[in-house]
Structure 1
């Protein structure tokens, strides 16, 4: 009994003291965590190519340039606005590369329907960052309200000024007209960099008709080339024939001239010999003497005379 009573008389620990220690530890842990969060939440960085919009309790305080900056934890926050080039696409071959916008459908001046794949490149100027956040909240909202809602109508209007054939033949001018039209109606804090109509897809029936017409034109051009070649060949043949005729004519004229000259020379020679004979009768006898070899004929016809030269002197002959 005494031992039992002695054990019961020992002091027992107070439960309130243990629970108080645990509570104090939790409070300290919360304070440390809040301090860590406050420390890490008091600084931030802005990348090059972006701008930061510093908000204090939701109100715009300033636009922050790239670099390391500090802010008040819980009271201030930062929204980033990119100054890099952004892209809006209407229609695309790869669905993962689209802006969620379908291909533009329009009619040409000659009432040919077409689906167009269009890309608009734009960016936000640095001076317009506060305007973008204040009036639009984000670049996506800006692009939707300022570009995506206005560009399709402008592109359709410009496309309607072209025939189906001319819009293909003058693609550069069409792109230029589309870019100017979109830039003219874009009145928000954004800069249009370029507009590209990447593809114009007409109906299958129209494309088949164009292909047939182009095939016919190619065939006509081929026939015209063949005709031109035949004409050239004919001109060459005529030129060659004329050349041969001119050559023959020249040869004939040369031959005639030669014959005439030779005839005239022969006539002059005959005339000269005749004159010489008339003026000198003994020239004949001289010619005979020059041609006689000095021998008499070996055989003679009976009763014929013996040919001989008259060798009398000129004085005897004259007597």
Structure 2
């Protein structure tokens, strides 16, 4: 009997532990959990530890972080050239609407397969034929914006948010790619030549400007020197005129000038007046 009692107690303890384990669940960060009662979705709970009724309630997690879907599809360009396009789109389930999404579509995988992917393919096939192959390669961003705008419009009524969209790859026939590369190389060479010519023109203009500035500098110096000579000449002329006027107005200035210039020696001869001979007054 004691062994039977211990076995029963152990069994009951095990059952209680199992029931406790079945009564709790944890919702991971970045997810919400849909709680179902006999298979019917009833409520959703946020990350953390939660309780449920064993054998009655079951749970299923829904990711509410950003997800990415990729599609590779065939289409054609505006000139009817076959093209294969690889597109990726980021999208997020609106946290508060996860229960509605689950009730309506049964989960993320079903929503992607039934709703998102078909509309993504449709948007890509609606936009790509508007572009010629060369334009599609060189102006990929415009095609991306148009596809993204169309997809956002198509998904506006669903409980998700469409994020960034990217065209990851554009596969065209190899011969056409080679012709595009050749054309691009020619454009690059032409652009390089134009740049070279523009640079040469700029350098020539710079030399002209330098020569012009140098000539203007020389001309300015010459003008300054000529003006200085002119000013000096005018000053000297004015001085001569002033001196002549002073001599006219005062004859004694002449005597004064002679006196200032006399070297202190008496003349050695005196010229007589009339018939008087010239006398030598030097000492014998």
The bucket for the TM-score relative to the shorter chain is: 0.5 to 0.7
Aligned to 1:120: 89
Tell me which of 70, 74, 81 is aligned to 2:62. 81
Which is worse superposed, 198-207 or 284-293? 284-293
- Structure 2 distance, partners of 1:285, 1:86, is 118
- Is 1:146 aligned to 2:115, yes or no? yes
Aligned to 1:184: 153
Tell me which of 55, 62, 65 is aligned to 2:42. 62
Aligned to 2:34: 52
Give the superposition deviation at 1:132: 3.2
Residues 127-154 of structure 1 show CA distances to partners (whole Å, capped at 9, x for unaligned) of 4444433443331121122111111332
User: Does the 8 Å CA contact 1:125/1:189 hold for their aligned counterparts?
Assistant: no
- Structure 1 distance, partners of 2:257, 2:66, is 124
Aligned to 1:238: 212
Which is worse superposed, 37-46 or 188-197? 37-46
Aligned to 1:97: none
Give the superposition deviation at 1:248: 0.2
Aligned to 2:265: 294
Aligned to 1:220: 194
- Structure 1 distance, partners of 2:215, 2:145, is 58
Aligned to 2:235: 261
Residues 239-286 of structure 1 show CA distances to partners (whole Å, capped at 9, x for unaligned) of 220121122022112213312331342244245435544xx6x95698
- Is 1:133 aligned to 2:99, yes or no? no
Give the superposition deviation at 1:88: 0.5
- Give the TM-score of the pair, scaled to structure 1: 0.61
- Structure 2 distance, partners of 1:69, 1:249, is 103
The 5 A counterparts of 1:21-36 are none
User: Does the 8 Å CA contact 2:88/2:167 hold for their aligned counterparts?
Assistant: yes
Aligned to 1:6: none
Give the superposition deviation at 1:86: 1.9
Specify whether residues 244 and 130 from structure 1 end up closer, same or farther in structure 2 by C-alpha distance, changes over 3 A only. same
User: Does the 8 Å CA contact 1:121/1:195 hold for their aligned counterparts?
Assistant: yes
- Structure 2 distance, partners of 1:286, 1:133, is 129
Structure label with greater radius of gyration? 1
- Structure 1 distance, partners of 2:185, 2:101, is 49
SS where residue 153 of structure 2 aligns?
Answer: helix
- Which structure 2 residue ranges, 5 or more long, are not aligned? 1-7, 270-276
- Is 1:197 aligned to 2:177, yes or no? no
Tell me which of 225, 244, 264 is aligned to 1:251. 225
